[in-house]
C-alpha cells in the first residue's frame, strides 16, 4: 500500500486446496509406510487423508471457493490416497503371494477409482448432491483399511488372516465393482437443524455411527462402513424390484385408458 499498489488477497480456492494437498501428502506417506511394511501406520494415514478430503469440501462451501481447479485437484489427490495407496496396500498385505493374478486384482481399486472420478468430473455441474453414483472412493479405501486393521487385531479376528487365504479377492472385486456401478450411495450430510427435521432416521443413524466410531474405533469403523454399503445396496435393489413390480400395472392402466 505504501507503493500505491493494492495488497493482493489470498484466493478463496487456496483454503480448500490446502486441505486437498494435505490429503495427497497423507496418501504419499501411506505409500511410504506400506513400502516399509508398517501396515497399521499406512492404514491410519489413509484414514487421515479421508479426514482432509472431508475438510476440503467443507472449506470450499464455507469460503465459497469451489472451482474447476479445485475439482480437478481433488480428483488427482483422491486417486493417489484412495486408489493407488489401497491398491498397493492389498498387494503388499497379501495378494502379492498370488503372482500375476494378485497384481491384476490389486490394481482394480486404482483403475476403477480413476474411472469413477473421471465420470464424476464429467457429470459435475457445480452443485453438491445428496447422493453419489457408485461407491465413493474414500469409502472403498477406508473399508479396505478397516478390514486390514481388524485382521491385525487378534482380539477380534484371531481365527482369520486375510494374508493367508484368498478372502481378499472377492472383497476387492466387489468394492471395485461398486465404485463403477450406478448404485446411489448417500453423501455425508451437512449437520443442521433443518436436515435433522427433514431426515430424523438418517440423522439418528449418523449419530449412532459417530458413537460406534468413538467407542469401538477400528471395529466400529468396519461396522459403520459395512452397514453403509449394505444399506445402500439393499435400498437400490428394493427400488429396482419395486419398479419392476409396478411397471406391468402402469402399462395395463395406460392400455385401458387408450381403449
Domain ranges in the chain are 14-186
Q: Crossing angle of helices 200-216/218-258, nearest 10°? A: 160
Which residues of the chain have a pLDDT value below 70? Answer: 1-13, 65, 125-128, 152-166, 189-193, 195-196, 199, 247-259
Per-residue model confidence (pLDDT) at position 127: 65
For residue 129, the SS3 value is coil
**Rg of the chain's alpha carbons, rounded to an integer?**
21
pLDDT at residue 153, as a whole number: 62
**Model confidence over 53-91: pLDDT tens digits?**
888 877 777 777 677 787 888 889 999 999 999 999 999
As given in the structure block, the three cell numbers for residue 92 are 503388499
Beta bridge partners of 185: 132
Q: Per residue in 208-217, pLDDT tens?
A: 888 888 888 8
How many whole angstroms from its chain centre is CA 107? Answer: 17
For domain 14-186, give the fold. Answer: 1.20.120
The pLDDT of residue 16 is 80
pLDDT of residue 189: 67
Listed residue (62, 77, 54) closest to 15, CA to CA: 62
Query: Measured between alpha carbons, how far is residue 30 from residues 13, 34, 213, 242 in Å?
Result: 26, 6, 21, 43
The pLDDT assigned to 10 comes to 55
- pLDDT at residue 126, as a whole number: 62
Amino acid at each position: 500500500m505504501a507503493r500505491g499498489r493494492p495488497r493482493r488477497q489470498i484466493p478463496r480456492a487456496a483454503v480448500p486446496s490446502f486441505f486437498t494437498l494435505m490429503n495427497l501428502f497423507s496418501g504419499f506417506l501411506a505409500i511410504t509406510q506400506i513400502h516399509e511394511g508398517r501396515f497399521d501406520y499406512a492404514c491410519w494415514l489413509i484414514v487421515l487423508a479421508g479426514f482432509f478430503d472431508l475438510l476440503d469440501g467443507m472449506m470450499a462451501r464455507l469460503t465459497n471457493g469451489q472451482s474447476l481447479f479445485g475439482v480437478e485437484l481433488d480428483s488427482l489427490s483422491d486417486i493417489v490416497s484412495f486408489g493407488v495407496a489401497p491398491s498397493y496396500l492389498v498387494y503388499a498385505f497379501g495378494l502379492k503371494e498370488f503372482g500375476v493374478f494378485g497384481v491384476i486384482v490389486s490394481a482394480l481399486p486404482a483403475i476403477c477409482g480413476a474411472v469413477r472420478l473421471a465420470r464424476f468430473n464429467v457429470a459435475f455441474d457445480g452443485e453438491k448432491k445428496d447422493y453419489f453414483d457408485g461407491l465413493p472412493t474414500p469409502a472403498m479405501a477406508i473399508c479396505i483399511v478397516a478390514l486390514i486393521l481388524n485382521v491385525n487385531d487378534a482380539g477380534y479376528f484371531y481365527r482369520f488372516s486375510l494374508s493367508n487365504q484368498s478372502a481378499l479377492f472377492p472383497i476387492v472385486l466387489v468394492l471395485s465393482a461398486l465404485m463403477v456401478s450406478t448404485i446411489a450411495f448417500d453423501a455425508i450430510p451437512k449437520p443442521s437443524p433443518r436436515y435433522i427435521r427433514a431426515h430424523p432416521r438418517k440423522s439418528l443413524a449418523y449419530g449412532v455411527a459417530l458413537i460406534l466410531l468413538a467407542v469401538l474405533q477400528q471395529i466400529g469403523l468396519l461396522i459403520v462402513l459395512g452397514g453403509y454399503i449394505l444399506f445402500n445396496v439393499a435400498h437400490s435393489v428394493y427400488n429396482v424390484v419395486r419398479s419392476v413390480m409396478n411397471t406391468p400395472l402402469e402399462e395395463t392402466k395406460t392400455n385401458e385408458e387408450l381403449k
